[in-house]
Structure 1
Amino acid sequence: MAVRIKTRFRKSGPKTVEERASVVAVAVWKAAHEAFRRMGKENFNFTSPEQVTGFVTEFIAFLVQIADRIVYGQISEPDRAAFVNALARHLSRNIQDSQVELRGPGDYVTPFFDTLNARFRDYAECEYGPAGPGYAFVRYLGERVAEVMNAADNKWVLEYVMEIEAPDAVKVVKKAVGEVMGVKVG
């Protein structure tokens, strides 16, 4: 995945967890959009703005969960909560801005957070080990994306997401979280 991410701050000195989360949010956003762009180039059909939004939201939910799992046990619980909350807030602003531009005025943050919270519950059942997300973790993303994209019209979505897009996006987020948060990644 050819996603360039910036993991260094212009100003030296200590950074808050929220400032660090903003950098990781950019990486998550870019990784989700790169997955969308590449799937379009591979002739997967996106037929509506809602479908595009659903796709990006599912990828973001997956990648936020990856970021959370990476920092788990490596930073304090209060810092972890602050990191995940700040990450979600930054991404919700991106969702709101992009949806207003794409679809017009409205509340796009509430459905985004509803999906994010639902996926947190669902992904909590999935294994994440030293090598990264387990099979069920990645398959769940593939299933969610296939559902959003109406798999009957895009029959290889599940496999493509699991084999190509998810692993590439995970690499981007691992790099960003590891460098920005100063934690060990598998």
Structure 2
Amino acid sequence: MALRIKSHWKDEDRERSLPQVASALAYIAWRVAMDKAINLHCERFVYRDDAQRLAVIQEYLVFLIQIADRLAHGDLDDDSRQVLITELAKKLFAHVQDNSQDLLGPGDYGGPFIGLLNARSDEYAEYQLADDGPSYAFLRHLGYEVQTLMGAKDENRWVIDQVMDKDGWDAYKMFAKAYRDLFE
């Protein structure tokens, strides 16, 4: 079943602030990342536990923040882009913290997510996003990180291929469309 994403504003004529757009993008990114984590399970890849599933979701969130940053680079000036991406990261920090606490109990989950985002941002800086989507290397990096989290043994051996060839592309397409829709 395909994930339905609401990416149009109810009152399209009203101006939206960048923090409002970032909030909507964060909600959409969370749903897309969760959908892709669920899809891996549906494709018979095996999670060890909820912590591992949340780690995969976070890898997708980092990937989608990179996509948002690249899309914003072409659409916004540097100051506006910084506001959008910072607000997006703050909202996703809250999503990660709240959902992780619900599943795993009390703890600091948002802080390590920001650490992961900062580390991965340096890594993803080497990869390109063209008009037709992320480069092979961009998607391969996402696939590699997911495979590292899930392990390359037995049933998870081909998870990198699933992420690179299907799920990463799907996540990009859904999120990029929502991004463009929200700025219309």
TM > 0.5 fold call: yes
Deviation string, structure 1 residues 102-121 (Cα, Å, up to 9, x no partner): 01111111100000111110
Task: State whether residues 126 and 134 of structure 1, in contact with CA within 8 Å, keep that contact through their aligned partners in structure 2.
Answer: yes
Alignment of 1:139-178 (within 5 A): 139-153=140-154, 154-178=156-180
Residue 158 of structure 1 and its aligned partner are, at CA, apart by 0.5
What residue is the counterpart of 2:59 in the other structure? 58
- Please tell me the root mean square deviation across aligned C-alpha atoms, in Å: 1.2
Alignment of 1:20-59 (within 5 A): 20-59=21-60
Query: Does 133-142 or 47-56 show the bigger shift?
Result: 47-56
Task: State whether residues 6 and 23 of structure 1, in contact with CA within 8 Å, keep that contact through their aligned partners in structure 2.
Answer: no
What residue is the counterpart of 2:2 in the other structure? 2
Separation in structure 2 between the aligned mates of residue 24 and residue 33 of structure 1, nearest angstrom: 14
What residue is the counterpart of 1:82 in the other structure? 83
Runs (4+) of structure 1 moved beyond 4 Å?
A: none
Residue 140 of structure 1 and its aligned partner are, at CA, apart by 0.3
Separation in structure 2 between the aligned mates of residue 129 and residue 149 of structure 1, nearest angstrom: 29
What residue is the counterpart of 2:130 in the other structure? 129
Residue 164 of structure 1 and its aligned partner are, at CA, apart by 0.9
Task: State whether residues 64 and 88 of structure 1, in contact with CA within 8 Å, keep that contact through their aligned partners in structure 2.
Answer: yes
Separation in structure 2 between the aligned mates of residue 7 and residue 159 of structure 1, nearest angstrom: 29
Higher helix proportion (structure 1 or 2): 2
Task: State whether residues 51 and 104 of structure 2, in contact with CA within 8 Å, keep that contact through their aligned partners in structure 1.
Answer: no
Total equivalences in the alignment: 182
Separation in structure 2 between the aligned mates of residue 28 and residue 6 of structure 1, nearest angstrom: 12
Separation in structure 1 between the aligned mates of residue 84 and residue 48 of structure 2, nearest angstrom: 34
What percentage of aligned pairs have identical amino acids?
A: 36
Separation in structure 1 between the aligned mates of residue 35 and residue 3 of structure 2, nearest angstrom: 7
Task: State whether residues 9 and 182 of structure 2, in contact with CA within 8 Å, keep that contact through their aligned partners in structure 1.
Answer: no
Residue 8 of structure 1 and its aligned partner are, at CA, apart by 2.5
TM-score, with structure 2 as normaliser: 0.95
Question: What residue identity is the alignment partner of 1:70?
Answer: L
Separation in structure 2 between the aligned mates of residue 26 and residue 4 of structure 1, nearest angstrom: 13
Separation in structure 1 between the aligned mates of residue 106 and residue 87 of structure 2, nearest angstrom: 24
Residue 6 of structure 1 and its aligned partner are, at CA, apart by 1.7
Separation in structure 2 between the aligned mates of residue 77 and residue 2 of structure 1, nearest angstrom: 35
Ranges in structure 1 where 5+ consecutive residues have no aligned partner: none
What residue is the counterpart of 1:180 in the other structure? 182
Question: What residue identity is the alignment partner of 2:23?
Answer: S
Alignment of 1:79-118 (within 5 A): 79-118=80-119
Residue 76 of structure 1 and its aligned partner are, at CA, apart by 1.2
Residue 74 of structure 1 and its aligned partner are, at CA, apart by 1.5
